[in-house]
Structure 1
Amino acid sequence: MTRETRDAVTHRYAINAVTFACMLLFAQSGSAWAQESPAVSEGTLPAVEVVGTSASESPRHLATDVSNGALGTRSQLDTPYSTTVVSHQDLQDTQPAKLADVFFNDASVSDNSKPYSAWAGYISIRGLPIDWQNGYKIDGMPFNTYGVTLPYEQLEQVELLKGLPGFMYGFAAPGGVVNYVTKKPPVDDTPIRSVDVGYRSDGIWSEHLDLGGRAGPNDMFGYRVNATHEEGQTANDGNVRRDAFSLSTDARITRDLTATFGAMYQDAHASGITSSIYTGGLTGSSLPAVLSGGSPNLSVPDQHIDTNLQVYSAGLRYNLNNDWTLSTQYSFSRLWRYRNESTYNLTDTAGDYTDARFAGKEGNRMNAWQATAEGNVKTGPFSHQIIFGFAIQEQVNEYEANSFYDTIGTGNLYLPNTNHYNSYGQDWGTYRAGDITQKALFASDTIALTSRWSVLGGLRYTNYEQHGYALNGSTISTYTENGIVTPTVALMYKLTPRTTLYASYVESLEAGTLVGNTYANAGAMLDPLRSKQYELGVKSDNTAWSASAALFRIERGAQYANAQNVYVTDGESIYEGLEAGGDLRFGGGWSVGGDIMWIATQYERGSSNNGNRVVGAPGFIATARVGYAVPFVPGLRLRADAKFTGDTSLRPAGDLMTAGYTLFDVGATYETKVAGHGLTLTAAIDNLTNRQYWMYQYQNYIAPGDPRTLSLNAKLDF
């Protein structure tokens, strides 16, 4: 960095620091102003109104609608599968840096990620990874997410469907589906205007603008614009720069016809990223001594990841009559990523490694279109909620044509890395490495048998085609199958209007795995896997408490490296478990809650590893949370969260584990008004005790846990 650049950055940081300090001073004065009520005369400071947060909604958000793909939109309470919703308020309070932070309080979610790296979006659900090619949606439409951290400050909520998504969304791994819901235009003429400034240790500043409103005759046109800039130094002496923009519009063309358009653009750069750590060469049953994810030993400045994400969508919704609605939606997404990343191949438990560096460019494109009809009919004494539709999804993966992958030296985890490979300025070409096309018909019927009993049935009929290509354009693998049926059935019983019991079954198929560089059959594309899920659950949403629980069994084809280091499909992986949680609100502003997940896993019917625990599935996870709305400081909320993640198997042989660990997060949010404008101040500390630990990241891969991190944010409505 040149001196001029350093001076400019320092100047900008100083401006941000002054802005942040001014907001803090306004808030500090605010509580004193709020106690005074004299008339405001010329030359007097305006009064400040202190506002509190409504406690009418439970922390589990069971009454909130979630998108269920082909099943349509319905509340969590009426969805016969396990789900989680994280609201915009939750995101504001916790200031997440990666996807695992978003779901910190969900015991079904385990962290496999590192912020500001290609792994930032990696999480596992019930011990199963989410498919980065098919398991992530924006407003219900698919996009590729590898290497991307979405701008959480621009989202209205984040939804998680746990388990198999086959009927709802088509091909995807059985871990689940994450749906990012972007901020939408206001429904009335109340304008939305806010700006916020944030800081994250060890030196990352961000600015965010949120504007929304309606215009035209009868407020016909609505808009919502969000823009974010983030820049600074990470905990391990790396640097990050991110610019993100999103737009959501709607047009109420007639009383019954609405058109929508959305766009998201993000350009991000992170240098000095943390290296990956591969344990496949270790012998014995122990790992090297732990170290902090903030250690500069795990990175060098020439390691980086650059990503550019573009997502565009358009839709129409027409209310045919009071009972039927027709809708159609199209989306296009494109992701480019340029990585220069080391993998430390450990050779012993003293932390010695060989440094294998990858550098190259990769890309993904996806076109998706869906049309649905949703309505209500009656046949005799039975009421039917019917959905049927058609979907097409075309995906193209472009991989590096001139990539670099070689050993560039050796090192030790506890010493600075002196190996370098600077790849900037090189011409990295890409080629069409594979494509996947899905064409599907789907239909479901939810039949109300009585006022309490209902039954759901759904079928998805898919034609699937998958190709893998060599650098010269020749086809090296093909999988085609037409008429694939993925069904779902569920039985639901309303114990009370706010309590639902359910039993459900669903099947799913996932796209074939592209084998990575560390295996003997690198570049091969395996055939798709079929999975099955059985679930029995309960959800209850009440004024003072809410709770949910589910028993589940998942059967999935097993994949691992055999004795010849060939990555193969062999036998099955079985997951059986219980997840349960609840939240309770007391008088005096107190609330408590917690989640647990217990899971038993094993390999079956394979040529080896039968009876061993499945890779990546912690045996037990538990979370706890306490909240307190301070009565003598209206608008001030305090929270403390904890999460325990049990030991996790790193490889199918079951001879190497990551140890269990517990993390503590704390935070405070203060909401007030200054001169009639809302002001929200947020502080959050993640990993309060600065616990050092190894986390499971991927089969045979580990990652150091994130160090203690402080986040501050000041948001002003204007």
Structure 2
Amino acid sequence: AGTGLEVRKQEDGSYVLHYADTTGRTSADVTLPLMTVSTASLKQGTAEEGYRVSNVSGVGLWDERSLRDTPYSMSVVPSDLIENINAQNMEQIFKMNPLTQGEDINRHNGVPFVTIRGFQSNNPIYDGIPMADANGSAVSMVEIDRVEILSGTSGFLYGGGRVGGAVNYVTKSPTDVPLRRLTFGNYGGTQFYGHADIGGKFDDQGRFGYRANLLYQGGDTAIGEPVNQKVANIVLDGHLTDALYADVKYTYNDYRKEAPQPFFNSTGERTAIDTSKRYSPKWASNDIESHKAYTSLRWDPSKYFTLRSAFFYQNTRAKTNLVTLNQQVDRTFIPRISSGNPSQKYENYGGYIYLDTRFSTFAVDHKLTVGYSSTVIDQVAIDGSYWSGTNLSLSEIKNIPKPAWGEPSNVLSTYLGRYNNILIGDDITFNKQWSAMVGFNYATTMSRSTGFYGNGSKYEKSALTPTVSLLYKPIEEVTTYVSYMEALERGTVVGNTYTNYGQVFPPLVSKQYEVGAKYDINSNLLLSTALFRIEKANQFSNLATPLPTYIQDGLQVHNGVELVLTGKITDNLTIMGGGTLMDLSVEKANDPALEGKKPTNAASRMGKIYAEYALPWITGLSLTGGIYYTGERYADAANTDKIPNYTLYDIGARYTTRVLDKALTVRLNVINLTGKNYWQNAGYLGVPRTVAFSASMMF
């Protein structure tokens, strides 16, 4: 406006400027040079984009790459979705995700337990750095930018363990534009909280940035469990030169939960226990204090070389008073309670260094990566005492008086576990349609333990675990792949809660075969599916009382298919849904009674869908909800204790508007709408009906 110029669209799609008024001027048209517009710098995974993420931050030694061109089954949960469902912890995320079987979060001091493809995967990964053990991990939701869930064996990528899958917590980074956001809300019951998220750049050139997340939470859960949590997350980063980037991150987490629900070590039958009631005494508790520090560096001296490295350290102290119940024939329970006097100390540390080189052999392009990674857990505990009660009804458990524990023994139990990995991988591009990813990991696992961790046991084993993937793109929007991967897992050192305390099992080498396809239906909608087969040694507890025996016998074979659809169906409808179907069995067992049985705690069927609908006639208002089905499982190897299937329903709403010229978002979520009584796994009750809400304002 006001320039005297007009724009005309030409037949070939280009645009031409000319003078609207040619009086006294030339009539020559002016053609502007070609301009390319890219969305690469825009934030992925927003609610407006249907929570669709195009790239993953990296998978093992492979660097950041397209999600569609990654030959593994993956699902990404962005921060917008985490905030919009008022997720207090990963339990809500795992419940919603089609690839994961959600379980209890409170066990072992906040460890995010999850089952993927029928195998438990507990050891978290922070910014691509795997932890050697789950104990002391203390995942905090306010530090997470997004969660990348890999479904399937990840031994080559992250070293030992994680046979069924891996969960990578990508933490928050400084923002390119100033961020000032305050959130006040309630996680259910009287659990009110306040959260501040502040980020931006220090300088006008945008070379140095910062991010701070602060959380305070206090009150009772929906069933009267007092909770108190304080979290501080600080991030600094900088482009030290045009080719050199570095960051430093720190997180402090102080968490306490009183009267957490008991653990059911054995149940005579799976009766419908009312999950809306609390069954533990008020003096039972779960305390954890954690310090985490990260640092990473990336150097790109030329277009042919990239050096990537990162280091992680976490120091955690934990104290627990947890109630374990053994059900009797008359449906009474014998409680067993561990002393909370001794504290446990966990140190998790690890890191990696990778060198990427790019070159071509004739018409074939290569991105060759070599590197080393290591991760260690060092934990120390003071031996405590246990108290066992008499037969009580379930309602009487919460009235147990606090036992007189006396002084701790001052006898130390120690455990040291380590995974070392020497890796080489080649990302090969033959042409626009064909590519391959080939790699080898010389993995070493080692453990050393004393006291109730393993009675002086030592262990070390190495193995070469390969992977190979072949990708084919019949059209630009579709990627198909076949892959093979192996994983080394250290032999279990049986702890003192079993009759065969101190026994060391032989190492495990698991194998996975997978065929998959990913289809970009449009820029905001991705459909992916995979067929897989996993073979792993079978390990289980026989659930005997008063102490069970831990057993390794036979081979777990999991055959299955997965399907996931994420993104916008229409401009107003967003979904994240899919399902998993598996055929599970135990084969080659020495005990004939185990042959053909189902592995424990693995649901063979899951179907889940979460949806949001933006009402077209009320700007800013979206209705949300989900339906989540988990099939039946078995709690024991003999398949006599069946955990019933269940279906959970969530509903909610979100409204976005402007108040005093500031963006305001109000969210409401009702979890387990029907108040369904269910078992999350063999030992833990489900989550009762919970109402959560929040309000976020930019300032």
Could you state the TM-score of these two structures normalised by the residue count of structure 1?
0.85
Aligned to 1:521: 500
Partner of 2:638: 653
Distance 1:86 1:474 in 2: 38
Distance in structure 2 (CA, Å) of the matches to 1:191 and 1:424: 53
What's the CA shift for 1:111? 2.0
Which of 199, 204, 209 aligns to 2:196? It is: 209
**Aligned match of 2:309:** 328
Q: Which of 53, 57, 63 pairs up with 2:49?
A: 57
> How do 1:559-638 residues align onto structure 2 when only pairs under 5 Å count?
559-561=539-541, 565-583=548-566, 585-587=568-570, 589-592=572-575, 594-608=577-591, 609-638=594-623
Q: Distance in 1 between matches of 2:568 and 2:508?
A: 44
Q: C-alpha separation between the residues in 2 aligned to 1:627 and 1:215?
A: 37
Q: How does 1:268-417 map to 2 (within 5 A)?
A: 268-279=255-266, 282=268, 286-287=269-270, 289-296=271-278, 298-348=279-329, 351-359=331-339, 360-399=342-381, 401-415=382-396, 417=398
Q: Distance in 2 between matches of 1:689 and 1:147?
A: 34
Q: Which has the higher contact order (CA 8 A, sep 6+)?
A: 1
2:647 is aligned to 662
After TM superposition, list the pairs within 5 Å mapping 1:106-121 onto structure 2. Answer: 106-114=97-105, 118=109, 121=112
For residue 80 of structure 1, report the CA deviation from its aligned partner: 0.7
Aligned residue identity for 2:153? L
2:65 corresponds to? 74
**Amino acid of the residue matched to residue 666 of structure 2?**
L
The 8 Å contact of residues 423 and 439 in structure 2, kept in 1 or not, is answered as yes
SS at match of 1:690: coil
Distance 1:415 1:327 in 2: 57
TM-score, structure 2 normalization: 0.88
**Which of 526, 544, 547 is the aligned partner of 2:527?**
547
Corresponding position of 1:26: none
Q: Secondary structure at the match of 1:72?
A: coil
Residues 646, 457 of structure 1: CA spacing in aligned structure 2 closer, same or farther, 3 A cutoff? same
Aligned AA for 1:503? V
- The equivalent of 1:142 in structure 2 is 130
The number of aligned residues is 646
Cα distance in 1 for partners of 2:209, 2:315 equals: 26
Give the equivalent residue in structure 2 for 1:454. 435
Q: CA–CA distance in 2 between the matches of 1:101 and 1:550?
A: 24
Taking the aligned partners of 1:494 and 1:335, their CA distance within structure 2 comes to: 46
CA–CA distance in structure 2, aligned partners of residues 223 and 323 of structure 1 = 30
1:145: Cα distance to partner?
Answer: 4.0
**What SS class does the counterpart of residue 496 from structure 1 fall into?**
coil
Q: Which amino acid is the alignment partner of residue 156 of structure 2?
A: F
Residue identity matched to 1:636: L
Contact 1:163 1:533 (C-alpha < 8 Å) held by counterparts: yes
Question: Which whole-Å CA distance do the structure 2 matches of 1:392 and 1:616 have between them?
Answer: 30
Secondary structure at the aligned position of 1:695 is classed as coil
Task: State the 1:414 CA deviation.
Answer: 4.2
- 1:157-306 equivalences under 5 Å are 157-186=146-175, 188=176, 190-216=177-203, 218-279=205-266, 282=268, 286-287=269-270, 289-296=271-278, 298-306=279-287
Deviation at 1:95, TM superposition (A): 1.2
Read off the aligned partner of 2:212 and give its amino acid letter: V
- Distance verdict in 2 for CA 1:54–1:355, change over 3 Å: closer
Opposite residue 478 of structure 1, the aligned amino acid is K
Gaps of 5+ in 1: 1-52
Q: Give 1:420 shift.
A: 2.8
Moved more, 594-603 or 510-519: 510-519
Partner of 2:537: 557
Q: CA deviation at 1:330?
A: 1.4
Whichever residue aligns with residue 350 of structure 2, its letter is A
Gap change, CA 1:475 and 1:153, over 3 Å in 2: closer
**Partner residue in 1 for 2:80:** 89
Question: Any idea what SS the aligned residue of 1:466 has?
Answer: strand
1:15 maps to: none
AA of the residue aligned to 1:376: R
- Is the 1:220–1:252 contact (alpha carbons within 8 Å) kept by the matching residues of 2? yes
Supply the distance in 1 between the matched residues of 2:215 and 2:637 (Cα, whole angstroms): 42
How far apart are the structure 2 equivalents of 1:428 and 1:552? 49
* Cα distance in 2, alignment partners of residues 551 and 110 from structure 1: 18
Please give the secondary structure, in 2, of the residue aligned with 1:704: coil
The alpha-carbon deviation at position 606 of structure 1 amounts to 1.4
Distance 1:154 1:258 in 2: 21
CA distance in 1, matches of 2:105, 2:275: 8
2:688 matched residue in structure 1: 707
Greater Cα offset, 550-559 or 104-113: 104-113
Task: Report the 3-state secondary structure (helix = DSSP H, G, I; strand = E; otherwise coil) of the residue aligned with 2:474.
Answer: strand
**Counterpart amino acid of residue 139 in structure 2:** L
SS at match of 1:255: coil
1:709 shift after superposition = 0.5
Residues 245-302 of structure 1, C-alpha deviations (whole Å, 9 max, x = no match): 111111211111112111111011111111101226x3xxx32x21233312x21111
The alpha-carbon deviation at position 142 of structure 1 amounts to 3.1
**In structure 1, distance between residues paired with 2:199 and 2:335:** 49
Contact 1:510 1:528 in 2 (8 A): yes
Assess if the C-alpha contact under 8 Å between 1:72 and 1:387 holds in 2: no
Cα deviation, residue 602, structure 1 = 0.8
**1:517 shift after superposition:** 4.3
Q: Of the candidates 503, 512, 515, which is equivalent to residue 482 of structure 2?
A: 503
Deviations 1:92-114 (A, max 9, x none): 11112332311333222112215
**Residue identity opposite 1:215 in structure 2:** F
CA separation of 1:677 and 1:423: change in aligned 2, threshold 3 A: farther
- SS of 1:168's partner is helix
Task: State the partner residue of 2:20.
Answer: none
Number of the residue aligned with 2:21: none
What SS does the aligned partner of 2:81 have? Answer: helix
CA 1:456–1:588 in 2, change beyond 3 Å: closer, same or farther? closer
Specify whether residues 208 and 396 from structure 1 end up closer, same or farther in structure 2 by C-alpha distance, changes over 3 A only. same
Alignment of 1:438-453 (within 5 A): 438-453=419-434
- 1:271/1:302 contact within 8 Å kept: yes
Cα distance in 1 for residues equivalent to 2:127 and 2:410: 32
Aligned to 2:27: none
Counterpart Cα distance in 1 of 2:475 and 2:494:
49
Distance 2:521 2:451 in 1: 57
Q: 1:669 to 1:122 in 2, by over 3 A?
A: same
Distance 1:528 1:397 in 2: 21
Residues 506/152 of structure 1: CA separation in 2 closer, same or farther (3 Å cut): same
Deviations 1:137-160 (A, max 9, x none): 121223454366532133210111
Q: 1:292 to 1:119 in 2, by over 3 A?
A: farther
2:556–2:586 contact (8 Å) kept in structure 1: yes
- Give, as a single letter, the amino acid of the residue that structure 2 aligns with 1:556: K
The Cα of 1:178 is off from its aligned counterpart by: 1.1
Q: CA deviation at 1:565?
A: 4.5
Note closer, same or farther for the CA distance 1:60–1:106 as it changes in structure 2 (3 Å cut).
Answer: farther
What are the superposed Cα offsets for residues 566-606 of structure 1, whole Å, 9 maximum, x if unpaired? 31222211111111132574546234553111111111111
Q: What is the rounded CA distance, in whole Å, between the counterparts of 1:148 and 1:60 in structure 2?
A: 28
Secondary structure of the residue aligned to 2:390 is strand
Shift of 1:55: 6.5
